[in-house]
Amino acid sequence: MPTQKLASGIDLYYETHGEGEPVVFIPGTGFSGNVWEPFQLPALSKTVQVIILDPRGCGRSSAPTGVYSIEQMACDVAALLDHLGLPSAHIIGHSMGGRIAQALALSFPQRVRSLILAASGSGPAGRSGQDCVPGLPFYLVSELVEMGFEEFVRHECCQTTTYFTTDYLQQHPDKVRSFYEMVWKHHAKWHPYLRLCMARHMWEGTHRLADISMPTLVVVGDADLIGSNHVTQSEVMAKRIPNAEHRYLAGQSHGFFWQAPEETNAWILDWISRHKTGND
């Protein structure tokens, strides 16, 4: 699949599979599009057009120096839709990808058919405690410095409940290890990763959530409490986005796309079928 030079100024790696309603998957901080390959791509591309991408700074896309911003990365997605000749698409954003999806919905509302904000947040104003101010949080800087970059990523994937619940970590260590190896293969490198984290923690969209006009599903695992507590952040978004649906996934943490893929794919397809072109 191609790496395309976009009008937004970067070479963006993307893949498109299947036919039907176009669905763009935007991954979380540092992750590339390959994280959707084991479960989402083969299952969903049977009935919809699945578009995956490596955000700027990640994997096979450009990793420019200088400041990164959430708005910049939203422009990258809009430019990709232009390149593909798609006037609009369903947008699924996971974690930081949800911030990019929100920025896309706010700046280019006509390009977003529907929105799924998965395990995401809207900025520091939607957080609690020490995370309620802009800037890199202390715990993240401390862990990166003490562990080193590669060990930090491995530890987060394999030894914390960030992505998988305690029971899953204990019962499926082989699957957890495979997840880490998949993530690391095209993960952002050290300097781009820092730029991505800075973009994530400096972006604030909470005050504009009421301006999101398209159908929106806010979804979170009820065990996604580590770090910045995505359960609380999801409640802020669901309350402020007009007519948003709010879904809690029982017994899931930040990585429900990989811990419970069949269940996850089922509600994604249900959402798209209820909001496909011509349903309004």
Question: What ranges do the domains of the chain cover?
Answer: 3-274
Q: Are 58 and 79 in contact (CB under 8 A)?
A: no
The residue among 222, 218, 217, 216 whose CA lies nearest residue 259 is 222
* Class of the CATH-defined domain 3-274: alpha beta
Cα separations in angstroms, 276 against 91, 101, 117, 269 = 12, 18, 17, 10
Cβ atoms within 10 Å of 13's Cβ, excluding its own: 22
CB 255 within 8 A of CB 179: yes
Q: How far apart (Å, rounded) are the C-alpha atoms in residues 218 and 216?
A: 6
Question: Residue 45 CB: number of other CB atoms within 10 A?
Answer: 20
CB 78 within 8 A of CB 108: yes
Task: Kindly give the confidence (pLDDT) of every residue in the chain, 280 residues in length, as a single tens digit, with 9 standing for 90 and above.
Answer: 689 999 999 999 999 999 999 999 999 999 999 999 999 999 999 999 999 999 999 999 999 999 999 999 999 999 999 999 999 999 999 999 999 999 999 999 999 999 999 999 999 877 777 777 788 888 889 999 999 999 999 999 999 999 999 999 999 999 999 999 999 999 999 999 999 999 999 999 999 999 999 999 999 999 999 877 899 999 999 999 999 999 999 999 999 999 999 999 999 999 999 998 866 5
The pLDDT score that the predictor gives to residue 280 is 52
**248 phi, psi to nearest 5 deg:** -100, 135
Bridge partners, residue 89, by sequence: 112
Residues 62, 8 contacting (CB under 8 angstroms): no
From edge to edge, which strands make up the β-sheet containing 245-249? 3-5, 11-17, 49-53, 22-26, 89-94, 112-118, 216-221, 245-249
The phi, psi pair for 5, rounded to 5°, reads -75, 120
Q: pTM score, two decimals?
A: 0.96
- Rounded to 5°, the CA angle 137-165-138 comes to 10
- Asked if 246 and 238 touch (Cβ cutoff 8 Å), the reply is yes
The length of the chain in residues reads 280
CA dihedral sign, ordered 206, 188, 53, 225:
negative
Q: Which residues lie closer than 8 Å to 32 by C-beta, 6 or more apart?
A: 13, 54, 55, 58, 59, 60, 61, 185, 186, 187, 188
